[in-house]
Structure 1
Amino acid sequence: MARVPYLDGEDVPEAYGAVFDRNRAGATNLYGALANNPPLLDAFVDFARTCWDECGLDEPERELVALTVARQTHADYEWHQHVPLALDAGLPEADVRAVREGRYGDLGSRREALTSYAAAVATASVDDALHRALVERVDDRTVVGVTLLAAVYTGLARFLDALAVGPEESFVGWGLDGLDDGDGTELSREDLLE
């Protein structure tokens, strides 16, 4: 049970209600928790969207960063939200499994650098070697973008954990085949994309 109520667009001043209309990911529990402070909801959504749009990565790579941080921080809400988004963006199931298992080397050199770096941002363990590996594959603008995107998802994981914000429906589990949400309910790829 969340530690704050989940509010909706009708519960906030009219000036902030439009934020809920921009919610493309279906993250109603996250938005509902943030809505307890409407100016911060509005600012966070704009900031996070800008980080997402301007980080210098394509959509599958952004999803890899989000999934990597979710896995590193044990953020079931973020994992639950981003697995279907990643699959919908064309990320192969094998890549999602590789992130789940920390097998970043299976993703190719650029994606290995991105996910290894994102994992290190999430665990406060970026070193010179990881930084160099990323700089060899992306420009400085993208380094800043990846760093901030990973930091946003790390901070979001801490926010969700502190306020006990859970997924809108049963957790998809940490995998795609045979893993369940803890109550024996297995979800197929089709379930994830619904």
Structure 2
Amino acid sequence: MARVPLPTRDEFPESHRDAYDRMVRERGDPTPHVFLALANMPNLLDALLTFTREMRHGAVLDARYRELGIMMTAHVARSAYEFEHHWNHAVRAGVRREQLEALDHFETSPLFDVRERAVLRYAAEATSAIEVTDATWSGLTDAFTVREAMDLVMAVAWYNAVARINGPLRIANEPWFRRV
């Protein structure tokens, strides 16, 4: 059970109800627990929705690579909630299930190509060590434009933040959630 309330619309401050309604509209009804937990900061909810929407819809990096990076971030950070939820996003973006099951062996697995390995190496290293080696950065920027690499940098950074929100708050999967 989450350590913070997951507010309903009626419990949400009236002065910020537009943001709550936007959250439900953009994130679904029922709304994922992570967003309900973040709604405990009503003054930041609208800005967080704008930020996360722009990260998804304003990105130039192909969603498949972004989701691979997010999955590796969740895996290394041991964020079960994000790993489960982004499994579905990754599959919908074109990542193969076999790849998701082989994340521990991405460096040697024939399931991954050079670009996918560059994404996974960056996400793993940035999550576990924060700094990345010159070789890892060069591998990423050899495989992607600087703009694409920056999309990955932001996605990995954000999902590291989300892991550090979900863990302490004990955000759990919703009763309705199912992995595809």
TM over 0.5: yes
Count of residue pairs brought into register by the alignment: 173
Answering whether residue 56 of structure 2 is matched by residue 31 of structure 1, we say no
The partner residue of 2:71 within 67, 74, 81 is 67
Q: Show CA shifts across 1:19-55 (max 9, x none).
A: 2210059652111111111222221221122122333
After TM superposition, the score normalised by the length of structure 1 is 0.81
Q: Which residue of 1 aligns with 2:18?
A: 15
**Change in CA separation of 1:48 and 1:83 when aligned onto 2, cut-off 3 Å:** same
Answering whether residue 119 of structure 2 is matched by residue 114 of structure 1, we say yes
Where structure 1 has 5 or more consecutive residues not aligned to the other structure, the ranges are: 172-190
Q: Which residue of 2 aligns with 1:179?
A: none
Whether contact under 8 Å (1:20, 1:31) holds in the other structure is no
Whether contact under 8 Å (1:9, 1:16) holds in the other structure is no
The partner residue of 1:50 within 38, 47, 54 is 54
Give the AA of the match of 1:11. Answer: E
Q: Which one has more relative contact order, counting CA pairs under 8 Å at least 6 apart? A: 2
**Change in CA separation of 1:26 and 1:145 when aligned onto 2, cut-off 3 Å:** farther
- Give 1:63 deviation, angstroms: 1.3
Whether contact under 8 Å (1:51, 1:149) holds in the other structure is yes
Q: Which residue of 2 aligns with 1:192?
A: 179
* Distance in 1 separating the partners of 2:63 and 2:74: 16
**Change in CA separation of 1:152 and 1:26 when aligned onto 2, cut-off 3 Å:** farther
Q: Show CA shifts across 1:160-189 (max 9, x none).
A: 111111111399xxxxxxxxxxxxxxxxxx
- Percent of pairs with identical residues: 27
Whether contact under 8 Å (1:66, 1:153) holds in the other structure is yes
Whether contact under 8 Å (1:27, 1:81) holds in the other structure is no
After TM superposition, the score normalised by the length of structure 2 is 0.86
* Distance in 1 separating the partners of 2:166 and 2:3: 10
RMSD in angstroms over aligned alpha carbons? Answer: 2.1
